[in-house]
């Protein structure tokens, strides 16, 4: 199940996912420090990182969707894990987009409150962490985006049939 979206033979989705993860985390930190200090710089940082996070998440989603739709066999357990991974990332994107919509107009002045930003971005980071675990499962357990040796390719069908969501440590006897 090698990636369908590649550059010079390397999967694009894993190259891009670090950007929204870092920006989402920075957005949460910016809101937290703004809540503690009231310094406008931290609110502006949170807004700027939120813009970058939402934009980079949309960019990372495109090759991720291509890999899921065209690279993972329909009947495999990896398809289910991939759908859960994508769903959590879409929820995180929606939470950060709502936060952005709420605070983007506060660039030149203090926000009326930061509780909503903290709540949405905390939930968004939690979804991103859960999605990251599932992405790790896709690579480690289902070998999505991993170029296999000929021997590994021969054994891949057996490996894919053993693994199931929630039971990723079970191996064939």
**pTM of the full structure:** 0.86
Q: In terms of C-beta density within 10 A (0-12 exposed, 13-18 middle, 19 or more buried), how is residue 7 classed?
A: exposed
Give the separation between CA 136 and CA 140, rounded to whole angstroms: 6
Q: CA 146 to CA 164: how far, in whole Å?
A: 19
Distances (CA, A) of 13 to 66, 75, 122, 135: 9, 22, 24, 10
Which tens digit of pLDDT belongs to each residue from 65-98? 999 999 898 989 999 999 999 999 999 999 999 9
Mean pLDDT over 96-125 rounds to 94
Cα torsion 154, 7, 22, 133 to 10°: value is: -10
Instruction: Give exposure, 110-130, as e/b (b: 16+ Cβ within 10 Å).
Output: ebeebeebbebbebbbebbeb
- pLDDT at position 151: 83
Residue 135 has pLDDT above 90, yes or no: yes
* Residue that the structure tokens 């769903």 belong to: 87
For residue 142, pLDDT over 60 is answered with: yes
Query: Residue 11's beta-bridge partner residues?
Result: 6
Which residues have CB under 8 Å from 132's CB, separation 6+? Answer: 17, 21
Residue whose token pair is 């959590």: 88
């Amino acid at each position: 199940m090698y990636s369908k979206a590649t550059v010079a033979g390397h999967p694009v989705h894993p190259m891009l996912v670090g950007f929204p993860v870092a920006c989402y985390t920075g957005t949460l930190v910016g809101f937290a420090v703004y809540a503690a200090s009231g310094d406008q710089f931290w609110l502006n940082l949170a807004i700027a990182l939120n813009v970058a996070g939402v934009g980079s998440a949309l960019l990372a989603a495109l090759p991720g969707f291509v890999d899921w739709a065209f690279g993972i066999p329909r009947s495999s357990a990896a398809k289910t894990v991939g759908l859960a991974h994508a769903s959590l990332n879409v929820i995180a994107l929606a939470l950060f987009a709502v936060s952005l919509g709420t605070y983007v107009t506060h660039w030149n002045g203090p926000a009326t409150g930061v509780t909503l930003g903290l709540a949405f971005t905390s939930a968004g980071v939690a979804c991103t962490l859960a999605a990251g675990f599932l992405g790790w499962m896709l690579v480690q357990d289902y070998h999505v985006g991993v170029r296999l040796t000929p021997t590994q390719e021969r054994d891949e069908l057996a490996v894919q049939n053993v693994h199931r969501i929630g039971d990723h440590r079970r191996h064939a006897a």
